[in-house]
Structures are given as C-alpha cells and as structure tokens.
C-alpha cells in the first residue's frame, strides 16, 4: 500500500494548524497589550448577546439584502465544514468517503445533498457580493480607507469562496462511484455530464485534484484569516460576548480622575505633600496609542470586517467630514499590528518607534468631528464600539495636552467659572421664571 498521500496530507494538516496557532498566539499577545477592563459581570446576558448577535446574526439582517446573503454564506460555511471532517479522516487514513461506511446511504445522501445545495447558494451569494462591491460600487465599499489592501482583501475572500465551492462540486461530480449511488448528487449530477467524454482515469485524477485543492484551499484560507478582515468569522463570538452591556449613552467614568477629584475635595489632604516613596506614577489620562486602550477595544479592532455600516450611518461622514468610524477601527488594528511586529523584532519589548495612533494614524480633525451620537455603535453587526476609542483619544488631547479646539476651551472655561457652557451667571439661573 502506498502511504505517501496520507503522509503528505498529515504534513499539510500539521503545517496548517501549527502556523495558524502561531498567529493566534500573536493575536492574543497583541490584544493583551491593552489595559485591563472588568468584563466579568452578567455572564448570562453576555452568552445571550453572543447567541443572538454572533450566532443568530440578529444585527446582520437589519439590512435585509446584505443580511440574507450573509446568512446564506454563514450557514453554508458552518454546515459545509462538516464535510471537512470527512475529508480529514479520509486524508489521514486513506479511506474514501468514510461517511458512506458509517452512515446509512440515505442519511449520507441527505447530508451531501444539503452541502451541495448550500454550496450553490453560497456561490451565488458570493457572486452578488462581488457585484455589489465591484459593479454596483455601493458607496460604503468605496470610501477613502477602502483602497489597496482592504479593497483587494475583500475580493480575494470572495474568490476564495467561489473556488472552494466549485472544487467541492467538481469533486462530487467527478466521483463516479458517488454519482452511481444517485443519492446526494442533487447538484453535481448536472455538472457530471460536463465530464462525459473523460476516461475513468482522467475522472479520477480530476476528482483527486479537486479533493486536494479543496482541503489545501481550506488550510490556506484558515491561515489567511490572520492577515485579513475575515478574522471576524472567529472573533465575532468573543467580541459580542465582551461588548459593553451598559446603555450606549453611558460613558465610563475614569477612576484615576475620581481619585484626583476626591483628593481635591478632601479638606484633610495636604496639597503640598510630596508623593510617597515608591508610589505609582499618576495614570495617563486617555489614549494616544494602542497600549492606552483597553483590550476589548483592541479585540474590537481585530474583529472589524470593514463592512462600513458604521461609516454609512455616521452623521459626520455622511456630510463629508473626514471622520469614518470604520477607519478608526482599521487604524487601531494596523497600529496594533505595527506595535506587535516591533515587539517581535526587539525580542519581546516595545522600542519607541516615534509613532503613535494619534496623528500618525488618526488625525485630530477626525476625532473632533464626532457627535457621539452612537449611530456607528448601533450599526455594527458585531458590537464594535468606535466611539469609545474616539472618546479616549479626546481625553488624551484635552487632559494631557490641553489641545481642545478653542471654542471648546471657552465652553469648558464657562462651565468651570459659572456652571454653564455659556457665560451666564449662575445666580441668573432662575430668571426665566419671571421673564
């Protein structure tokens, strides 16, 4: 018996899994660069959110066309992957369609039949996706941040899926034994006649070729994820789990500031006291780089699949401002990747590269254009919160750099002096009663 194919298969499988694990470790390391944040509360609601939003796609279908197409691809992806199980067993043990041996023929036929139908539906859905992106040119796919890699990445994923689905169907169509069973070849029976003239041997070669390219394609695709927006197929689950459960309007109160305010209000504190020996340095307020953000925000960045629903709902973006919530997420991810690579080249420690998220990636103009309306947060199908990053960066600008736009400084001075954003005396607050 010739074990070469089994060995080759095992090597490919191990390579694919090892390389993928290596990248997942990188991903986890990068996400852990973020600040700690307590997300241990209300597990029940968190599981429910994950079940509804990620597993149940509840927010995807708010846009019915894209939502329906996505559900097809999503279900197809999950269910067709059951077939991968068979491929792996066959590959490792040199069996052929092990499912036929362990399952009753009608059950096996039903399974493969469903996979075939789904494969065609996925293929068609992906074609429509491609048309929406490249022919209809839906606006949200053609914003400023969607050039070069992000644009190509999206199309590569679509091509990948088209090829994988085709290979699966061709594999079934050229499997003469499977065709002769006449069970489960619901789609492939119509493809089989295309190969009518071919000899048994040729058919077998095509079938084996399709089988090999299919499984190798899947392994390559698995490893493509880390470099792609397509990571969302994995990260959507933790991301919806760890997303904030608070009302969208509730912004976090900075504890470090609470400490300072309490100290200011406490008459017993000695204002001239030197900090105690070994006391921790005062916390940095807000964020100027990715390490200042919390790890959920960094997870958000890796989860973003650049669909642009946030940007298409953003009032600032709609009216032509530079701000795009999607770009905030992409910039955060790209900078985080850069920081991660920096750590790798410097043997585990980050060496200042003279760059940061603020200014080198996200400009002040973008940050100040936000109305904090939460449209982006509401629009995101996987519970990403671009607004929280914008707020953290504004905090850095205002509290660390005093770099607010001048009109906002006036507003804040008014609040400090007279308890209102306008220069009216607090003693006049009830004058309206008698006007």
Partner 1 sequence: MSELLNVPTMADFMAQGKQPEVLFWVGCAGSFDDRAKKITKAFVKLLNKAQVEFAVLGTEESCTGDPAKRAGNEFLFQMQAVTNIEVMNAYEIKKIVTACPHCFNTIKNEYPELGGNYEVMHHTQFLKTLLDEGRLTIEGGNFNGKRITFHDPCYLGRANNVYEAPRDLIKKLEAELIEMKNCKINGLCCGAGGAQMFKDAEKGDKEVNIERTEQALEVKPDIIAAGCPFCNTMMTDGIKAKEKEGHVTVMDIAELIANAQDL
Beta carbon nearer to partner 1, 264 or 276: 264
**Between residues 246 and 347, which has the closer beta carbon with respect to partner 1?**
246
Q: Which CB sits closer to partner 1, 215 or 323?
A: 323
Q: Which residues bind partner 1 (CB under 8 A)?
A: 246-251, 253-254, 257-258, 260-262, 264-265, 285-286, 313, 315-316, 318-323, 365, 368-375, 377-378, 391, 393-399, 404-405, 407-408, 410-412, 415-416, 419-422, 424, 426-435
Alpha-carbon distance of 419 to 430, in angstroms, equals: 13
Distance of closest approach, residue 42 Cβ to partner 1, in angstroms: 16
Helix ranges (DSSP H) in 94-192: 98-102, 105-134, 148-173, 176-181, 188-191
Is the distance from CB of 122 to CB of 192 less than 8 angstroms? no
Are the beta carbons of 417 and 360 closer than 8 angstroms? no
Report the residue number, 36 or 435, with the smaller CB distance to partner 1: 435
Q: CB of residue 365 vs partner 1: minimum separation in angstroms?
A: 5
Grouping H, G, I as helix, E, B as strand and the rest as coil, residue 227 is: helix
Nearer to partner 1, 93 or 251 (CB): 251
Nearer CB in complex with partner 1: 135/430: 430
Shortest distance in whole angstroms from residue 406 CB to partner 1: 8
| Residue 331 near residue 361 (C-beta atoms within 8 A) | yes
Complex with partner 1: residue 13 or 283, whichever CB lies closer: 283
In three-state secondary structure terms, 131 is: helix
Alpha-carbon distance of 311 to 327, in angstroms, equals 8
Cβ neighbours, 10 Å, residue 298: 24
- Widest Cα–Cα separation across the chain: 101
Least distance between partner 1 and beta carbon 435 (Å): 7
- Residue 358 CB, nearest approach to partner 1 (Å): 12
Smallest distance, Å, CB 57 to partner 1?
A: 17
C-beta of 40 vs 180, nearer to partner 1 = 40
Nearest-angstrom CA–CA distance, 317 and 366: 10
Give every CB contact of residue 53 below 8 A, 6+ residues apart in sequence. 59, 236, 240, 381, 382, 383
CA distance 138 to 28: 34
Token code pair at residue 230 = 């397509």
Instruction: Assess contact for 110 and 181: CB atoms under 8 A.
Output: no
* Least Cβ distance, residue 334 to partner 1 (angstroms): 22
Nearer to partner 1, 253 or 268 (CB): 253
Taking a C-beta distance cutoff of 8 angstroms, is the pair 242, 296 a contact?
Answer: yes
Q: How far is the CB of 275 from partner 1 (least distance, A)?
A: 19
Q: How many residues does the chain have?
A: 435
Residue among 60 and 370 whose Cβ is closer to partner 1? 370
- Smallest gap from Cβ 398 to partner 1, in A, equals 4
In contact, 257 and 392? CB cutoff 8 Å: no
Min separation Cβ 429 and partner 1, Å = 5
Question: Which residues, at least 6 apart from 290, have a Cβ–Cβ distance to it below 8 Å?
Answer: 33, 34, 298, 301, 332, 335, 336, 339, 357
Whether 114 and 79 have beta carbons less than 8 Å apart is answered as yes
């Amino acid at each position: 018996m010739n074990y070469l194919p089994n060995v080759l298969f095992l090597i490919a499988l191990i390579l694919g899994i090892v390389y993928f694990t290596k990248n997942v470790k990188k991903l986890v390391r990068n996400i852990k660069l973020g600040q700690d944040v307590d997300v241990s509360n209300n597990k029940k609601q968190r599981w429910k959110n994950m079940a509804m939003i990620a597993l149940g796609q509840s927010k995807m279908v708010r846009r019915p066309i894209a939502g329906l197409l996505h559900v097809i691809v999503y279900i197809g992806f999950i269910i067709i992957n059951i077939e991968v199980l068979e491929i792996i067993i066959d590959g490792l043990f040199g069996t052929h369609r092990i499912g036929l041996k362990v399952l009753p023929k009608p059950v096996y036929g039903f399974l493969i039949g469903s996979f075939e139908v789904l494969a065609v539906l996925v293929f068609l859905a992906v074609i429509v996706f491609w048309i929406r992106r490249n022919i209809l040119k839906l606006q949200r796919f053609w914003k400023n941040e969607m050039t070069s890699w992000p644009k190509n990445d999206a199309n590569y994923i679509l091509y990948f899926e088209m090829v994988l689905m085709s290979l699966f169907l061709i594999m079934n169509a050229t499997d003469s034994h499977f065709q002769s069973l006449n069970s489960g070849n619901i789609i492939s029976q119509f493809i089989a006649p295309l190969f009518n003239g071919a000899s048994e041997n040729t058919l077998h070669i095509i079938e084996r070729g399709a089988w090999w390219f299919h499984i190798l394609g899947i392994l390559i695709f698995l490893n493509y994820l880390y470099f792609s927006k397509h990571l969302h197929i994995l990260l959507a689950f933790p991301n919806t789990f760890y997303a904030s459960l608070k009302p969208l309007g509730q912004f976090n109160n900075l504890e470090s500031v609470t400490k300072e305010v309490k100290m200011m209000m406490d008459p017993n504190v000695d204002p001239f006291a030197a900090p105690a020996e070994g006391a921790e340095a005062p916390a940095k307020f807000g964020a100027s780089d990715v390490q200042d953000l919390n790890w959920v925000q960094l997870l958000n960045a890796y989860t973003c699949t650049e669909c642009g629903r946030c940007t298409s709902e953003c009032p600032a973006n709609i009216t032509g401002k530079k701000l795009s919530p999607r770009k905030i997420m992409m910039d955060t991810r790209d900078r985080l990747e850069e920081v991660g690579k920096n750590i790798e080249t410097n043997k585990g420690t980050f060496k200042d590269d003279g760059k940061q998220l603020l200014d080198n990636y996200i400009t002040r103009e973008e940050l100040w254009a936000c109305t904090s309306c939460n449209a982006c947060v509401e629009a995101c199908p996987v519970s990403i919160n671009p607004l929280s990053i914008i707020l953290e960066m504004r905090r850095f600008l205002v509290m660390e750099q005093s770099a607010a736009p001048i009109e906002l400084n006036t507003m804040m001075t008014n609040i400090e002096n007279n308890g209102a954003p306008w220069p009216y005396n607090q003693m006049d607050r009830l004058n309206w009663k008698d006007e």
